[in-house]
Structure 1
Amino acid sequence: MKSISASLPLLSMLLLGSTSHAEAALEGPYLGQKPPGLTPEPFAPGIVTTDGFDDGGVFTPTMDEFYFIRKRPDNSKFETVIYKQQGNQWVETVSKEPRPFYPFFSPDGKTMHLGKKYRERTDSGWSETKDLEAPFSEIAIMSLSASLHGTYAIDERHPEDEGVLRFSRLIGGKRAAPKPFNDSINSGTRNSHPFIAPDESYVMWDGIKDGGFGDVDLYISFRQQDGSWGEAINLGDKVNTDAYEAGPKVTPDGKYLFFVRNMGSDQFENVDIFWVDAKIIETLRSTR
Structure 2
Amino acid sequence: MWERPQPESPRQLILLLDLKSGKTKVADFSKDYSNGSPIWIEHDKLLFYSNRPSGSEKTNEIVNDLWTVEKKDSIWTQPQCLNFSKHTKFAASPTITKSGTIYFVGFKDSVENNMGIYRAIQNSNGYEIPELLPKEINSKFFDWTPYISPDETFLIFSSNRPGSKDNYGDLYISFKDNDNNWSEPINMGNKINTNKQERFPKISENGQIFFFTRATDNNYDDIFWISSKIIDDIKNKKTTGNKL
TM over 0.5: yes
Quote the Cα distance in structure 1 between the aligned partners of 2:166 and 2:72: 48
For 1:142, which of 92, 111, 119 is the aligned residue?
A: 92
Alignment-derived partner of residue 263 in structure 1: 216
Structure 1 counterpart of 2:170, which letter?
Answer: D
Residue by residue, what CA displacement relative to the aligned partner does 1:10-64 show, whole Å, maximum 9, x if unpaired?
A: xxxxxxxxxxxxxxxxxxxxxxxxxxxxxxxxxxxxxxxxxxxxxxxxxxxxxxx
CA contact (8 A) 2:3 2:38 kept: no
Quote the Cα distance in structure 2 between the aligned partners of 1:175 and 1:250: 24
Alignment-derived partner of residue 69 in structure 1: 4
Alignment-derived partner of residue 248 in structure 1: 201
For 1:91, which of 8, 23, 42 is the aligned residue?
A: 23
Alignment-derived partner of residue 104 in structure 1: 38
Q: Does 1:224 align with 2:211?
A: no
Deviation for aligned residue 1:261: 0.9
Quote the Cα distance in structure 2 between the aligned partners of 1:68 and 1:181: 26
For 2:70, which of 113, 121, 144 is the aligned residue?
A: 121
Deviation for aligned residue 1:177: 1.7
1:195 is paired with a residue whose SS is strand
Deviation for aligned residue 1:122: 4.6
Query: How many percent identity over aligned positions?
Result: 21
For 1:197, which of 135, 142, 149 is the aligned residue?
A: 149
- TM-score using structure 1 length: 0.66
Gap change, CA 1:138 and 1:208, over 3 Å in 2: closer
Quote the Cα distance in structure 2 between the aligned partners of 1:209 and 1:138: 22
CA contact (8 A) 1:103 1:112 kept: no
CA contact (8 A) 1:163 1:192 kept: yes
- TM-score using structure 2 length: 0.76
Deviates more, 1:161-170 or 1:216-225: 161-170
Quote the Cα distance in structure 1 between the aligned partners of 2:79 and 2:225: 30
Displaced runs of 4 or more, over 4 A: 77-80, 134-138, 157-160, 171-174
Quote the Cα distance in structure 2 between the aligned partners of 1:101 and 1:191: 21
Gaps of 5+ in 1: 1-65
1:186 is paired with a residue whose SS is coil
Matches within 5 A, 1:40-51: none
Quote the Cα distance in structure 1 between the aligned partners of 2:206 and 2:86: 29
For 1:214, which of 152, 155, 166 is the aligned residue?
A: 166
Q: Does 1:177 align with 2:123?
A: no
The Cα RMSD (Å) is 2.6
For 2:115, which of 136, 154, 163 is the aligned residue?
A: 163
Gaps of 5+ in 2: 50-64, 239-244
Residue by residue, what CA displacement relative to the aligned partner does 1:60-103 show, whole Å, maximum 9, x if unpaired?
A: xxxxxx323155xxx536654332223xx533334572555334
Structure 2 counterpart of 1:91, which letter?
Answer: K
Greater RCO, CA 8 A, separation 6+ = 1
Deviation for aligned residue 1:229: 1.5
Alignment-derived partner of residue 80 in structure 2: 130
Gap change, CA 1:111 and 1:103, over 3 Å in 2: farther
